[in-house]
Amino acid sequence: MIENAQTTTGTDDEDLGLQQLGDDDDVAVEASEYVVLPDDRYLIEFLTYEKQEETLYGPSLKLNYEVVDGDHKGAKLDEIASLKGGTGSKLRLRMVALRGRDYAPKELIRPSELFGKRAWAIVEAKEVTSKSGERFKVNRITNLLPYRTESRGSRSKRPEAAPAS
C-alpha cells in the first residue's frame, strides 16, 4: 500500500522559480538548459517528488533525482511513476533500489523517507516527437540499481546494466 503523496516542492512563486516583475500578470521564468546525457550508468540522489493528478496511468508521482558524481555531476533527472505498489510497479522498484531492500506485504511505501538516498540510474537518450512534430531527445531512466559501498561486502560499486523492467 502506498500512503497518500504530498507535494514536496511547494507551490508559491519562489519555489517555482518565478519572479514577479511588477504587474500581477507579468512573471519571468529563468531559462535552463536541458542536458541529454550519454547512455550510461550514473550515481544519483533522490531529491523530491511531486504529485501528478492526471497522467496516462492515473495518479502518479514525478520522481526527481540529481547526478552526484562524474562528468555530469549536478545534472537533473526525473521520471513519472504511477501510484501502484505491486511487485513489478515502477514506483516500488525505484523505492526498493533506493532503500536497498524490498518491502514486506502490506508495508507502506513512503518515498519521503528515502530523500537523500543514492542508487545507480541506467540512463538512455530516447528520441520523442512533440505534438507539433518537433523531434528531440530526452533522458530516460530505464532502471535503478541499489548503490552499495565497499563496506557492505565485496560487491562492485559500479554494477553492470540490468535489463529494463
Instruction: Judge whether 32 lies within some domain.
Output: no
Q: Which of 92, 96, 76 is nearest to 141 (CA)?
A: 76
- Considering the domain boundaries, does residue 160 fall inside one? no
Alpha-carbon distance values, 137 to 39, 59, 140 (Å): 12, 25, 9
Q: Which domain holds residue 47?
A: 37-152
Residue with grid cell 513489478, as numbered in its chain: 88
Inside any domain, residue 5? no
The answer to whether residue 17 sits within a structural domain is: no
CA 109 – CA 84 distance, rounded (Å)? 10
Report H helices in the chain: 90-99
Range scoring the smallest mean pLDDT among 11-15, 105-109, 146-150, 161-165? 11-15
Residue 126 inside a domain? The answer is: yes
Report yes or no on 3 lying in a domain.
no
Q: How many domains does the chain have?
A: 1
On whether residue 20 sits in a domain, the answer given is no
Residues 6+ apart with CB under 8 A from 165: 88, 90, 93, 143
Helix (H) / strand (E) containing 43 = strand 40-52
92 lies in some domain: yes
> How far apart are alpha carbons 45 and 78 in whole angstroms?
11
Q: Which of 4-18, 26-40, 92-106, 109-123 has the lowest mean pLDDT?
A: 4-18
Domain of 140, CATH number, reads 2.40.50
Q: How confident is the model at residue 45 (pLDDT cuts 50, 70, 90)?
A: very high
